[in-house]
Amino acid sequence: MSTASDFIIEARDVVLSFGETPALRSATLGVAPGEILAIMGPSGSGKSTLLHCLAGILAPDAGEVRFDGRRIDTLRETERSALRRDRFGFVFQFGQLVPELTAEENVALPLLLGGVRRSQALDRARSWFGRLGLDGLGGRRSGELSGGQAQRVALARALVAEPDVLFADEPTGSLDSVTGEQVMDLLVDAAREHGTTVVIVTHEPRVAACADREVVVRDGRVAPLLIERMAS
């Protein structure tokens, strides 16, 4: 059984409401270093809200969020922003690439924001293109890429700074099944290669099957998926 010291990131009895609507009710979850965890649950269950709390995007009303043994829910927004920039990577459903930038500039963006020289940042960004099947696409903008290509660019952007934790919110939700499987294979392979911890929010069993472990969120609470299956 894991103890608190085994976790790189965790939520402890996290509570969060949006106005009068409760989103998380004493949600507790720990993720081990290098683990790939899938968070499942129906729409509106609180799974994306939990991910946003773990990532320091949202601060809970009560409870604790810890990263590498340190509370992050009590940090100022500027400190949480620096943490997201320097230690975390993000992949969202629609990629959210900056349309004015080329693909290679999008990938280099976290490095540029972290103070890396432009030439070095672009060199590191370009090194990901061959690995993710994007050769020759570095000069294209998001409108010139297919959905699968754009999502692979977003994956490269999330991994280029070698984050400790990668957060992926419905990373294949806008892709067809074949392209989605390709993106997930690339995500898992890259995470394994670098020892990156991954937290994936998904409602798709085929995506969750790529993870080491699955949990389910219902009504703002977290349970192991095994318990959910036994109860059903």
Average pLDDT of the chain to the nearest whole number: 89
To the question of pTM greater than 0.85 for the whole model, the response is yes
Q: Are 187 and 209 in contact (CB under 8 A)?
A: no
Asked, for residue 63, whether it belongs to a domain, the answer is no
161-184: average pLDDT = 88
pLDDT of residue 95: 62
Asked, for residue 114, whether it belongs to a domain, the answer is yes
Domain span holding position 129: 99-162
Asked, for residue 184, whether it belongs to a domain, the answer is no
Q: How far apart are CA 113 and CA 192, in angstroms?
A: 26
pLDDT of residue 48: 93
37-51: average pLDDT = 92
pLDDT of residue 2 exceeding 60, the answer is: no
Residue 148 banded pLDDT, cuts 50, 70, 90: confident
Asked, for residue 84, whether it belongs to a domain, the answer is no
Asked, for residue 125, whether it belongs to a domain, the answer is yes
Percent of the chain residues topping a pLDDT of 90 = 66
Asked, for residue 141, whether it belongs to a domain, the answer is yes
* Six-digit token string for 126: 């370009």
- Please give the residue that has the higher pLDDT: either 173 or 124: 124
Q: How far apart are CA 27 and CA 46, in angstroms?
A: 9
pLDDT of residue 231: 38
For residue 105, give every residue at least 6 positions away whose Cβ sits within 8 Å of its Cβ, in sequence order, or none: 98, 122, 125
pLDDT of residue 119: 96
pLDDT of residue 5 exceeding 60, the answer is: no
pLDDT of residue 232 exceeding 50, the answer is: no
Count up the domains in the chain and report the number: 1
Span 60-74, pLDDT tens digits: 999 999 999 999 999
pLDDT of residue 228 exceeding 80, the answer is: no
Asked, for residue 28, whether it belongs to a domain, the answer is no
Q: How far apart are CA 38 and CA 167, in angstroms?
A: 10
193-197: average pLDDT = 91
For residue 152, give every residue at least 6 positions away whose Cβ sits within 8 Å of its Cβ, in sequence order, or none: 132, 133, 134, 183, 186
Count of beta carbons in the 10 Å neighbourhood of residue 198: 27
Asked, for residue 109, whether it belongs to a domain, the answer is yes
pLDDT of residue 51: 95
pLDDT of residue 94 exceeding 90, the answer is: no
Span 107-120, pLDDT tens digits: 999 999 889 999 99
pLDDT of residue 34 exceeding 50, the answer is: yes
